[in-house]
Amino acid sequence: MLSQLTAEVNTNNQLNTKPEPISSPWRDAWKGLKKNKLALVGGFIIIFFVTIAIFAPVLATHDYKEPNLINRLQAPSAEHWFGTDDLGRDIFSRILYGARISLWVGTFSVIGSMIAGSFLGILAGYYGRWVDMVISRFFDIMLAFPGILLAIAIVAALGPSLQNALIAIAIVNIPTFGRLVRAKVLSLKEEEFIMAAKAQGMRDQRILFHHILPNSLAPIIVQGTLGIATAIIEAAALGFLGMGAQPPEPEWGKMLADSRQFIQLAPWTVIFPGLSIMLTVLGFNLIGDGLRDVLDPRMKN
């Protein structure tokens, strides 16, 4: 009798127990990321700037490119929350639209360099020999030049514009992703599941895009997040030198360049664009460090 009651209790407990969700590396990474307070702060910063970039036409209080010399260099007030620049344009509205430019350049330049660099890195790491030698020497030549100087040279050859700045930043960052993916592929292609795929006669194309690339995504994502922060700084540097976005586009680096002579007279013209660059870069760095901590097995206890 006692054994029957025990069996019934165990059966009921099994029926009432909900099955645990199937664990996966990405689900575990998400759980770990939610526990990282600094990564959450970085995520909120990014969401904030993405939101103001999307809703810039709604949030802007003035026309961001219409000059008004009567209101030039006005201090922050109820009418102009961040003050006005040397042409009387509302800095708050220009910051909002500038977020669009910086995020657009940072994101799409990194996507371009990520695709090109990953493709070259996979070829170099998987096939080796002369393919690896040619691609690796190409990366070495590009890395021999300081990144910002190489970007300046590319923009100077193509002509100053926002699109050419994006292209230059993408080209400059190709070796970073290429060498990262190459190193990952060199370790992956010696794994047993790759050997088994080759033994079964699986084509190289299928091995590369169905086995090696998915297992290389973690470092690519981490580097891509950190790369956006670097790309935003490089875009601001090109804009500061007059080789990025052209007037009247409110690119943050260009705003700093236009306001550098008013640092003492009207410091708000420099403070708000500088803070915008700093906070955006900080947000991507924090989320990138958080992703590295949860996706890199060496960082786990």
Instruction: Delineate the domains of the chain, giving CATH numbers in brackets.
Output: 29-62+80-299 (1.10.3720.10)
pTM of the model: 0.84
CA gyration radius for the chain? 25
Q: So what's the pLDDT on residue 2?
A: 45
Q: So what's the pLDDT on residue 14?
A: 52
87-90: Cβ within 8 A, 24+ apart: 89/62, 89/63, 89/64, 89/65, 89/248, 90/60, 90/61, 90/62, 90/63, 90/64
- Digit-by-digit pLDDT tens for the chain (301 residues) are 445 545 554 555 554 544 555 555 556 666 666 777 888 888 899 999 999 999 999 998 888 888 888 888 888 988 889 989 888 899 999 999 999 999 999 999 999 999 999 999 988 888 878 888 999 999 999 988 888 889 999 999 998 888 999 999 999 999 999 999 888 888 887 777 777 777 777 777 777 777 788 878 888 888 898 999 999 999 999 999 888 888 888 889 999 988 888 888 889 999 999 999 999 999 999 988 888 877 765 555 4
Q: So what's the pLDDT on residue 296?
A: 63
